[in-house]
Structure 1
Amino acid sequence: MKNVIVVCEAGITTSLLVTKLKELAGAEDESYNISSKNTEEGLEYVKDEPVDAVLLVPQIHHKATEYSEASNGEILKISVRDYNNMNSYSIFEQLNEALA
């Protein structure tokens, strides 16, 4: 099972995105554990738990270095366009490519 977190400033706005990503993972028969965290929770989480990928929403792209230093997982920056349009297909495709 691949452990993935989606991180945003407060951890609230990503709930719809996480739901859509879980649906896509289920449709593709992919084994993912996908959850959302706020910035501080996410940073502590990656220090304590192994993660395969961290998806950062545009508002916190500036935290990429901190997450990269705290985790061995892939750090992916969700584009402004994909996030604003909730383009879960594009985001899921990028996630799969990064973890292939």
Structure 2
Amino acid sequence: MKKILLVCSAGMSTSLLVTKMREAAKEKGVEVQIDALSVSEASTAVDHVDIVLLGPQVRFQKPTVEKLVKGRIPVEVMDMRLYGMMNGKAILEEALQKIN
């Protein structure tokens, strides 16, 4: 099972996106665990996920998160347009491509 971590400033703005991504995964028949945390909480989870997706509002935190993962997994900033539209399907597909 693939594990995706979404990171935003408070972990709140991504909750709807998590729901939409889970729905898209179910439609595709893909087993995936998707969670959302704030930047300050991300350090507790990065060792247990396959990719970290940063919300556009915290893109400046990418170097910090990259230090936490030590090159083990991809750290990507979500596309601002897809994030704004809460396009869970497209964001899920991009994440799965980067994991594989």
Deviation at 1:76, TM superposition (A): 1.5
> Which residue of the partner structure matches residue 21 of structure 1?
21
Q: Which amino acid aligns with 1:32?
A: V
> Which residue of the partner structure matches residue 58 of structure 2?
60
> Which residue of the partner structure matches residue 38 of structure 2?
38
Q: Which runs of 4+ in 1 moved over 6 A?
A: none
**Tell me, which stretches of 5 or more residues in structure 1 are unaligned?**
none
* Structure possessing the higher relative contact order (Cα contacts under 8 Å, 6 or more residues apart): 2
1 CA distance for matches of 2:95 and 2:45?
19
1:46-99 CA-partner distances (Å, limit 9, x unpaired): 1xx321011100011111111112112211111111111112222112112101
> Which residue of the partner structure matches residue 11 of structure 1?
11
Overall identity of the aligned pairs, in %: 32
C-alpha contact (below 8 Å) 1:8/1:38 kept by paired residues: yes
2 CA distance for matches of 1:14 and 1:8?
7
The reply on whether 1:83 has 2:78 as its aligned counterpart is no
Q: Which amino acid aligns with 2:89?
A: Y
C-alpha contact (below 8 Å) 2:53/2:75 kept by paired residues: yes
Deviation at 1:44, TM superposition (A): 3.1
C-alpha contact (below 8 Å) 1:50/1:73 kept by paired residues: no
1 CA distance for matches of 2:26 and 2:43?
27
CA RMSD of aligned residues (A): 1.2
Q: Alignment length, in residue pairs?
A: 98
